[in-house]
């Protein structure tokens, strides 16, 4: 028995050292939106956001630490953030110019390039679960509006009234906007997660209410595969910020492609594109590469974010410099 | 007078020879869809398609030859093809599973990265004009469904009943599909154009009815900036084929990025991605680079296509080998 154990331990040690076998590891990064985050945030408010981020991050970490898939981990994180009224996704989403909620989400499995996205969802409690339904239960990738709602019915996903998504804070912001001339304002608070699992698979997921005061039917970058959300064998990306800028530059696809062709690592590509290609104030991304390296660059004053990995890292942050 | 003319002629000749000044040229390529195109096409049918392609190509050529912009040229081509019942865009679009038409389109100006896209349009005669309206008249990039229809009303674009788009051929195909089990079939016939104008600007435009028998709300690659349509300073791309495959690979963005970072020319990048990244039967693209080189690779038995340039090239083709 002792001898058997010793052999097993030796085999495990050798396997861990074998150069052809990458170390078994996992990593996850999440965001709750980039933008102007007031440093005047009260101590209590700051702590609330940090707790919300830590709780979502822990949910994803638990999936990965238990050997779950990157896909399950990112979906789990986003479902939790959709339910959390602090963020602009699911409950707590911003309002359109008309005063309703239109929700967008996307999910992608980097190991197969399978992906699913929804836009203009109005009654589905967890748009990210519907995006996964598009991916796994239809032959399509992207469904919008009533067609997406219909699929939610077929899949028996949880439904809510549209005003279930409304929170007093978002309603007040909408009322202030409507008091001025017609215009859209940054929503802030789009959520997303990227993960690498112990099997080496990457995945990304994002969900949002879009921009405050948006036109009916407006689709931003979040549900657009290659703009706000992307994952392949090299890189997983979830973006947040001025959606139209991420769309016109195909930011998530560009980061992944730079990593794929070996121009740089996923984290370096993300850093370069956020600093050199996007304009100051556009937003940020969270990424993780097949090397397990996490990147969380942003060019806004702050980005709600968190990172954890198999090495024991577990941290959340709001501003650039860690200043509180 | 003679002396003035001579000076002008000399100045023009010098300007043409200055190494820092690229030769003034223009180029345009168009497609009317990739897929299985029967070689049993009757001589009369083949000629009809060739004439339809030549007519659309001539419309774009005329804009460019007169010094017009690449953006105007690609819009002009697509408007004409939307009106032409031979193609799966505008009039002649395939039907959804429910028996209606939902039209998608996108346009992009490579010189500014300005872009506009619409999805799920049901009553706008020229979806590409609405996409241009999104680009030029809103702060958004992408509008779907009723929100897009509403903008068409604000811009006073021409409207038609949804069944105006129906042709006997598409109705027969839909009836045949409905007689079998639920499934979507390749639509074929998505249209698109890419152009380089004499000022060195690139542009791309695409329009489609999507896939025959698609679910309500399904969005394919055509209106997704970076998937089926993209243009920047290096490359303009319009794709046609199995939309979901182009979406998950961010094909148009990938081609442009390879050209942008100097990994290869736009035409070479298109060739490589269509041959090596996409699977046999997925479809094809038309591209033009800032070097004026046109690429029209496809991995289907045929692709309706045409190319013209300032050097006098003017050709249309259907199959790979020019066989008729």
Q: Residue B191's closest CA among B40, B53, B22? A: B53
Which of A120, A244, A256 is opposite residue B145, by nearest beta carbon? A120
Helix (H) or strand (E) holding A152: helix A145-154
Q: Are A204 and A196 in contact (CB under 8 A)?
A: no
Residue A98 touches chain B, beta carbons under 8 Å: no
Question: The pTM is what?
Answer: 0.91
Structure tokens at B67: 């010094």
Residue B261 touches chain A, beta carbons under 8 Å: yes
- Check A224 against B220: CB less than 8 A apart: no
Tell me what pLDDT residue A17 has.
45
Residue range A249-289, pLDDT digits in tens: 999 999 999 998 877 999 999 999 999 999 999 999 999 99
Higher pLDDT, B289 or A13: B289
Structure tokens at A64: 């990965």
Using alpha carbons only, give the angle A160, A163, A166 rounded to the nearest 5 degrees: 115
Give the mean pLDDT of A128-150.
Answer: 97
Residue B250 touches chain A, beta carbons under 8 Å: yes
Question: What is the sign of the dihedral through the CA atoms of B150, B155, B160 and B166?
Answer: negative
Cα-Cα end-to-end distance for chain B: 55
User: What are the start-end ranges of the H helices in A180-264?
Assistant: 243-248, 251-260
Whether residue A12 is contained in a domain is answered as: no
Helix (H) or strand (E) holding A288: strand A283-289
Whether residue B86 is contained in a domain is answered as: yes
Q: Which residues of B74-103 are buried (b: 16+ CB within 10 A; e: fewer)?
A: bbbbbbbbbebbbbbbbbbbbbbbeeebbb
Whether residue A30 is contained in a domain is answered as: yes
Which chain B residues are Cβ-neighbours of A250 within 8 angstroms?
225-226, 230, 250, 253, 256-257
Which of B144, B250, B258 is opposite residue A219, by nearest beta carbon? B144
Q: How far is A230 from chain B (nearest CA, A)?
A: 8
CA–CA separation, A42 and B237 (whole Å)? 49
Residue A142 touches chain B, beta carbons under 8 Å: yes
- CB contacts < 8 A, A to B, total 153
Q: Which residues of A270-303 are buried (b: 16+ CB within 10 A; e: fewer)?
A: bbbbbeeebeebbbbbbbbbbbbbbbbbbbbebb
Active-site residue set of A: 190
Q: Residue A290's closest CA among A27, A19, A17, A15? A: A27
The residues, ordered by sequence, that sit 6+ positions from A129 with a Cβ below 8 Å of its Cβ are: A75, A79, A157
Tell me what pLDDT residue B21 has.
45
- Check A119 against B219: CB less than 8 A apart: yes
* Chain Cα centroid distance, residue A310: 20
The residues, ordered by sequence, that sit 6+ positions from B129 with a Cβ below 8 Å of its Cβ are: B75, B79, B157
- Check B218 against A113: CB less than 8 A apart: no
Which chain B residues are Cβ-neighbours of A183 within 8 angstroms?
139
Tell me what pLDDT residue A12 has.
47
- Check B142 against A247: CB less than 8 A apart: yes
pLDDT above 70: residue A213: yes
Query: With pLDDT > 90 as the criterion, what percentage of chain A qualifies?
Result: 82
Which of B147, B248, B261 is opposite residue A225, by nearest beta carbon? B248
Which chain A residues are Cβ-neighbours of B218 within 8 angstroms?
140, 142-143, 147
Tell me what pLDDT residue A88 has.
96
Query: What CATH number did the domain enclosing B31 receive?
Result: 3.60.20.30
Give the nearest chain A residue to B260 (CA atoms). A254
CA–CA separation, A15 and A112 (whole Å)? 26
Which of A150, A217, A225 is opposite residue B147, by nearest beta carbon? A217
Tell me what pLDDT residue B186 has.
58
CA–CA separation, A201 and A196 (whole Å)? 6
Which chain B residues are Cβ-neighbours of A142 within 8 angstroms?
218-220, 224, 247
CA–CA separation, A167 and A189 (whole Å)? 14
Whether residue A104 is contained in a domain is answered as: yes
Chain B neighbours among A 286-315 (CB < 8 Å)?
Answer: none
CA–CA separation, B308 and B286 (whole Å)? 12
Tell me what pLDDT residue A189 has.
82
Q: Choosing among A122, A152, A215, A255, which should be mutated to test the B contact, i.e. which has the most B CBs within 10 A?
A: A215
Beta bridge partner(s), residue A306: A30, A316
Whether residue A46 is contained in a domain is answered as: yes
C-alpha dist (Å) from residue A228 to A127, A132, A283: 15, 16, 11
Q: Are B120 and B112 in contact (CB under 8 A)?
A: no
Higher pLDDT, A12 or A193: A193
Rg (CA), chain B: 20
What is the ipTM for the molecules in this complex?
Answer: 0.90
Whether residue B3 is contained in a domain is answered as: no
> What's the DSSP call for residue A2?
H
Tell me what pLDDT residue A237 has.
98
Give the nearest chain B residue to A115 (CA atoms). B248
Number of domains in chain B: 1
Q: How far is A162 from chain B (nearest CA, A)?
A: 17
Using alpha carbons only, give the angle B80, B81, B84 rounded to the nearest 5 degrees: 95
How does residue A187 score in pLDDT terms, banded at 50, 70 and 90? Answer: low
Which of B141, B144, B218 is opposite residue A140, by nearest beta carbon? B218
* Domain assignment of residue B274, given as a range: 22-319
Tell me what pLDDT residue B290 has.
95
Whether residue A3 is contained in a domain is answered as: no
pLDDT in tens, chain B (324 residues): 344 444 444 444 444 444 444 454 899 999 999 977 777 778 898 999 999 999 999 999 999 999 999 999 999 999 999 999 999 999 999 999 999 999 999 999 999 999 999 999 999 999 999 999 999 999 999 999 999 999 999 999 999 999 999 999 999 999 999 998 765 565 578 999 999 999 999 999 999 999 999 999 999 999 999 999 999 999 999 999 999 999 999 999 999 999 988 779 999 999 999 999 999 999 999 999 999 999 999 999 899 999 999 999 999 999 875 544
Maximum distance among all Cα pairs of chain B, rounded to whole angstroms: 78
Q: How far is B258 from chain A (nearest CA, A)?
A: 9
Whether residue A16 is contained in a domain is answered as: no
Higher pLDDT, B150 or A1: B150
Q: Could you give the strand order of the β-sheet that contains A114-121, starting from the edge strand earlier in sequence?
A: A314-319, A302-309, A27-35, A191-196, A202-208, A103-109, A114-121, A142-144, B218-219
Q: Could you write out the three-class secondary structure of chain B?
A: CHHHHHHHHHHHHHHHHCCCCCCCCCEEEEEEEEECCCCCCCHHHHHHHHHHHHHHHHHHHHHHHCCCCHHHHHHHHHHHHHHCCCCCCCCCCCCCCCCCCCEEEEEEECCCCEEEEEEEECCECCHHHHHHHHHHHCCCCEEEHHHHHHHHHHCCCCECCHHHHCCHHHHHHHHHHHCCCCCCECCCCCEEEEEECCCCCEEEEEEECCCECCCCCEECCCCCECCCEEECCCEEEEEEECHHHHHHCCHHHHHHHHHHCCCCCHHHHHHHHHHHHCCCCCEEEEEEECCCCEECCECCCEEEEEEEECCCCEEEEEECCCCC
Tell me what pLDDT residue B40 has.
73
Rg (CA), chain A: 20
Active-site residue set of B: 190
Q: Could you give the 3-state DSSP secondary structure of residue A105? A: strand
Tell me what pLDDT residue B212 has.
93
pLDDT above 50: residue A209: yes
Residue B184 touches chain A, beta carbons under 8 Å: yes
Tell me what pLDDT residue A193 has.
98
């Amino acid at each position: 028995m002792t001898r058997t154990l010793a052999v097993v331990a030796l085999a495990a040690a050798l396997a861990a050292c074998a150069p052809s076998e990458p170390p078994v590891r996992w990593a996850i990064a999440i965001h709750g939106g980039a933008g102007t985050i007031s440093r005047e945030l009260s101590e209590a408010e700051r702590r609330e956001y940090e707790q919300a981020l830590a709780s979502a991050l822990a949910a994803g970490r638990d999936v990965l630490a238990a050997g779950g898939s990157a896909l399950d981990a990112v979906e789990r994180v986003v479902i939790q953030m959709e339910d959390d009224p602090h963020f602009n996704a699911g409950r707590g989403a911003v309002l359109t110019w008309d005063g309703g909620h239109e929700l967008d989400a996307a999910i992608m499995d980097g190991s197969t390039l399978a992906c699913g996205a929804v836009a203009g969802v109005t009654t589905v409690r967890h748009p990210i679960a519907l995006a996964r339904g598009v991916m796994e239960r239809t032959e399509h990738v992207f469904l919008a509006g009533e067609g997406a709602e219909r699929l939610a019915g077929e899949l028996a996903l949880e439904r809510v009234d549209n005003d279930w998504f409304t929170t007093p804070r978002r309603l007040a912001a909408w009322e202030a906007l409507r008091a001025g001339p017609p215009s859209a304002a940054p929503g802030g608070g789009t959520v997303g997660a990227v993960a690498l699992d112990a099997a080496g698979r990457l995945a990304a997921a994002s969900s949002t209410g879009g921009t405050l005061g948006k036109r009916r039917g407006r689709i931003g970058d979040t549900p657009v595969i290659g703009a706000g959300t992307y994952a392949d064998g090299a890189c997983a990306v979830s973006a947040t910020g001025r959606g139209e800028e991420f769309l016109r530059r195909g930011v998530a696809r560009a980061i992944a492609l730079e990593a794929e062709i070996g121009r740089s690592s996923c984290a370096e590509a993300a850093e370069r594109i956020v600093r050199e290609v996007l304009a100051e104030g556009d937003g940020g991304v969270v990424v993780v590469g097949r090397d397990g390296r996490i990147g969380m660059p942003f060019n806004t004053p702050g980005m709600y974010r968190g990172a954890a990995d198999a090495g024991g890292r577990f941290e959340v942050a709001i501003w650039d410099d860690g200043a509180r």
